[in-house]
Amino acid sequence: MQSQLFSPFQIGQLTLPNRIVIAPMCQYSAQDGMPSDWHLMHLGAMSHSGAGLLILEATAVEARGRISPLDLGIWSDAHRDALKDLVQRLRQYSSMPLAIQLAHAGRKASSAAPWNGGQLLSAEQGGWQTVAPSAIPHYAHDAAPDALTLDDIQEVRQAFTQGARRALEAGFDSIELHAAHGYLLHQFMSPLSNQRTDQYGGSLENRLRLTLEIFDDMKQVLPANYPLGIRISASDWAEGGWDLDSSLALTRELEKRGCAFIHVSSGGLAAHQNIPLEPGYQVPFAKAIKAITTMPVIAVGLITEAKQAEQILQEQEADLIGVARVMLYNPHWPWHAAAELGAGIHAPRQYWRSQPREVKNLFIGM
C-alpha cells in the first residue's frame, strides 16, 4: 500500500510534496524581534528534513504581543525586510514551502524564556504591561493584565492586518493565525479568560468575534487562494472552559470564510488544566473536526512514530501530521519515516551518500 504520509497534498495554491508539517517552535533567540543567525541555522536544518511544510515560530504582530523579549516580530517594515532576507537565504538551498505563524501572546506575554523559568517578567527584569480581554492573570500570583478597550482592539486588528501584509511581502507561502495555547485570541474565545460585557464577551458568538474579524481582515490584504490557516486549542482541558463543541462552531465559521487549513492542538489557557498526556492524545479532536469540515486538518501532539502518523492518515482522522519537538530531537525524522514506510523523500544531493545500504531509492533530488 502506498504511504499516505508521503503522498502530495494541496492547500489552496500550495502543493506540498508530502503530509508532514513542521509545527511552529519558539526559539527565544531574536533581538528586538529580529531573526538571528540561530534562526538561519535552525531553520536551515529543518528545511533539509524533507517535510512537506515548515511553519516558522510564533511571530508577534506587536512588540507587547511577544511571549518573551526574545521572540520574533513582524510589527515593522524593518522586521519584514529581515524576514525576507531569511526566506531568501533558506530558498537558496531548499524548495520546502515556508509558512509563518502570526501571533499575540496577550496576558502570557512579557515572560522569561523557558530555560530561565518562563515566569512573568517585571519592568525591572525587562518585562512590560500585558493586555487581555479581561484583567484576569494567567496565574493568580501574576500581575493582572490591562483589559483591552474597544480602541485597543481596533489597534490589535490593524496589527494583524499589517502583519499579514508584511508576511506576504517577505515571501512566505502561507500564514497560520495563532488562536491557540492560551494566547490573546484564545483568551478572547474562552469564558475562563473573557468576562467582558460588550460585543466581544458573553455569548459564544461574541467571544468568537475578534478571531473571525482578524481572519477576515487578513484575507482582505492577501491574494485570492493564498493559504491562510489557523491554529486552535480544541479544549482548555478545564471545567467551564473552551471545549470541542465551541471548536466545532468556530470551524464552521472559518470554513464559510475560506480558511485554508485548521491546525488542531489543545490546552495552554488554564493554569489548572488537566491533560492526559499519551501518544496521539489530541488526535480525537482533529478527527471530530475533520468529520464536519472540508478544510484540511492538521493533527499534532505526541505523534512521534512513522507508523503512528501513517495510521492516523489511513484511518482518515486528519489530513496532515504536525511534528515539532521530535524534530528538535531528530531533525531528519522525515528521512527515517520515509525509509520505514518505503517512500522517497526530497534531500540535498550533498547528503545522498548517507543513505543506508539496506534502504533503496530513499532520496529524491532537490
Active site residue 183: yes
3-state DSSP assignment of residue 219: helix
Fill in the DSSP letter of residue 213.
Answer: H
- Within 8 A by CB and 6+ apart from 129, the residues are 64, 110, 123, 145, 146
Provide φ and ψ at 311, rounded to 5°: -65, -40
C-alpha cell at position 201: 464577551
Identity of residue 200: Y
Q: Which of 183, 200, 329, 351 is catalytic?
A: 183
Evaluate whether 97 touches 43 at the Cβ level (below 8 Å): no
Q: Cα(345)–Cα(362) distance, rounded to whole angstroms?
A: 6
- Within 8 A by CB and 6+ apart from 7, the residues are 18, 19
Long-range contacts of 350-355 (CB under 8 A, 24+ apart): 351/48
Residues serving a catalytic function are 183
